[in-house]
Structure 1
Amino acid sequence: MGSRVDLLNHAGYREDGRTQHELRDFTVDLSKHGHADGAAAVTHGLTHVLVTVFGPREAKSRAQTMHDRANLNVELTIAAFSAGERRKRSRGDKRILEMAATIKSTFEPVVQTNLYPRSQIDIFVQVLQQDGGLLQACINATTLALVNAGVPMLDFVCAVTGGVYSTSPMLDLTLLEENDVPNVTVAVMPKTGKVTLVTMETRLHVDRFEEIFRLACAAAKVLHKEMKDAVRHRTAELVSAMGAGHGAPDRENTMIMDES
């Protein structure tokens, strides 16, 4: 079945002026947020997500306590004003629960939870604005917030959404594009090339899937460089502040930087 909307003009450009393989503007803010141990605000185009991390800290209940590792607790909220539909989503909303579970399962093999037995790491994801690529934004922001909190991980996790319009692969879809073409979200650990997530909500022909998967993995490496640069810049700021005698270092100064 073909697309219902002309997503590419005659010159091959998308509605927002990008080419098919071009990513949207990507911004990162790693400023301290309240009492959180780490935080990251990320935008992919008009999609805006804030993630705060608390912990590792003592597990709140016996049911959540694991004797050999830390429990990752992920909670996701979507602001009522984040999309044009103005629909209020409760925490029990099926889509919210599914997305929180997906984020949890994506990071469980990556976070070194075995270093913190009988504890928990709380990850709070707030969706402030959405215009496509919501899961990729949540995953990328979670990676940066965990790094900012000094939580040891095997690698960064970098996510990209891709789709196929007619026979043309497209990367980093807007909401208009996402609603109209078969699409997939891929999360990659760039250092090893391991894939921690592949999720599709629509059917995609196997021949097209291979092409878009390869492109998404290449795009994840581009995002990885941007994410590392943001962490490096924030680390330099903190080191500079410490050198200027601004008090004792806190947890935020324990950010991990993977230079490989």
Structure 2
Amino acid sequence: MSDKPEKFIDENGLRLDGRRIDEIRPMKMEIGVLSRADGSCYLEWGKNKILAAVYGPRELHPRRLQKADSVLIRYRYNMAAFSVEDRIRPGPSRRSTEISKVSREAFEPVVLTHLYPGAVIDVFAEVLQADAGTRTAAINAASMALADAGIPMKGLVSACAVGKVDGQLVLDLNKAEDNFGDADIPMAITSEGEISLIQMDGDVTQEEFKKAIEMCKEGCRQILEIQKETLKNKFTKLDEVEIPEDEEEDVSALVESTLTSADEGEACEDEEVVEEADAEDDSEDVDDVEDVEDDEEAEDEDDVPEEKADEVVEADPSFEDVEEEEDENPEDDEEETV
């Protein structure tokens, strides 16, 4: 742990990291980072790095823990052993158990628990790198992971902390301010402005406490805008294409020519279809005429007169050959008769 600085706020009203007293640290979010989880979020807030994952809703085992009228929310906050300078003992501790409890209660006002009776929603928040305000950062990441998982909620939950250093209230404490400050007040606020989590460590007056609540609401409003922008970038597609002013006329002309050629192509296709249909009709007429002629020829062959038939028979040499063969073998005929 570093030594306590002489002053946290200089004569220009700037803090050790160059921020003003009502500014939050730079924040970056990304959702959908884990393929195996139903919802996930990776958050960087200052030097904090948080990974949150959501699984569920799914059936709860053992069944004796099930709620007949609502879903059970289980929240697990954990700090990795390598997340701080001095390696911490891995596994649950009293601090992580306490943070898990209050964080779970922060989501109960917004999650529509009555839609999944007998089920469970598991939320895991893993601190990969810690730099003050990890519980509020984990709540912000878990809220985004719940939204990414499609859990029905009334709104998002945003969390931030207000502290007191050098006799002044500051928003979003950094590591030095958190370690050596006079007070620390983490809060979680819903999108409707309701406070779902508030804790305090240190001493503040009544007026300072009221002012701290207003400062925290303003910080949560800024965080809520970042959360909404992250969700928009994930679930919406931007179809707007910027076209330079010089090329607008060329593009419009190209569009008009394309539409005109398309209309002409459709007209040509219609004419071809009509011509093909006429050609098919003509071919059908020709086939009908040929069929009629074949039928007439067949009828003419059937109606041959008897005289012409006799002539045909007489002209056929096969009949004469048969008669000659009968005359040449009269003895064979007699033997067969005997």
TM class by smaller structure: 0.7 to 0.9
Equivalent residue for 1:46?
A: 47
Q: Within the alignment, does 1:36 sit opposite 2:37 as a pair?
A: yes
Pairs aligned (count):
235
The runs of 4+ residues in structure 1 deviating greater than 6 Å are none
Q: Which moved more, 1:61-70 or 1:113-122?
A: 61-70
Find the aligned partners of 1:166 and 1:174 in 2 and give their Cα distance. Answer: 14
1:164/1:208 contact within 8 Å kept: no
Find the aligned partners of 2:193 and 2:11 in 1 and give their Cα distance. Answer: 36
Find the aligned partners of 2:33 and 2:56 in 1 and give their Cα distance. Answer: 15
Find the aligned partners of 1:77 and 1:236 in 2 and give their Cα distance. Answer: 32
SS state at 1:69 partner: coil
Q: Within the alignment, does 1:112 sit opposite 2:112 as a pair?
A: yes
CA apart distance, 1:64: 2.1
Find the aligned partners of 1:65 and 1:147 in 2 and give their Cα distance. Answer: 23
Equivalent residue for 1:189?
A: 190
Cα offsets for 1:83-103 (capped at 9, x unmatched): 111112322x00010010011
Q: Which moved more, 1:197-206 or 1:217-226?
A: 197-206
SS state at 2:7 partner: coil
Equivalent residue for 1:61?
A: 62
2:110/2:153 contact within 8 Å kept: yes
CA 1:5–1:198 in 2, change beyond 3 Å: closer, same or farther? farther
Cα offsets for 1:216-248 (capped at 9, x unmatched): 1011111111100000101126x99xxxxxxxx
Q: Which runs of 5+ in 2 are unaligned?
A: 240-338
Letter in 1 for 2:73: L
Find the aligned partners of 1:177 and 1:5 in 2 and give their Cα distance. Answer: 12
Give the percent of matched residue pairs that are identical in Structure 1 and Structure 2: 29
Task: Write the mapping of 1:89-238 to structure 2, written as runs, cut at 5 A.
Answer: 89-91=90-92, 93-181=93-181, 182-190=183-191, 192-236=192-236
Find the aligned partners of 2:125 and 2:72 in 1 and give their Cα distance. Answer: 16
1:53/1:121 contact within 8 Å kept: yes
Kindly report the root-mean-square deviation, in angstroms, between the aligned alpha carbons of the 2 structures.
1.7
Q: Which runs of 5+ in 1 are unaligned?
A: 241-260
Equivalent residue for 1:76?
A: 77
Letter in 2 for 1:223: I
CA 1:165–1:10 in 2, change beyond 3 Å: closer, same or farther? same
1:164/1:212 contact within 8 Å kept: no
Equivalent residue for 1:255?
A: none
Which one has a bigger Cα radius of gyration?
2
Letter in 2 for 1:213: I
2:56/2:120 contact within 8 Å kept: yes
Letter in 1 for 2:235: T
Task: Write 1 or 2 for the structure with the bigger share of strand.
Answer: 1
Task: Write 1 or 2 for the structure with the bigger share of helix.
Answer: 2
Find the aligned partners of 2:176 and 2:115 in 1 and give their Cα distance. Answer: 43
CA apart distance, 1:211: 0.8
Query: TM-score, normalised on structure 2?
Result: 0.67
Equivalent residue for 1:20?
A: 21
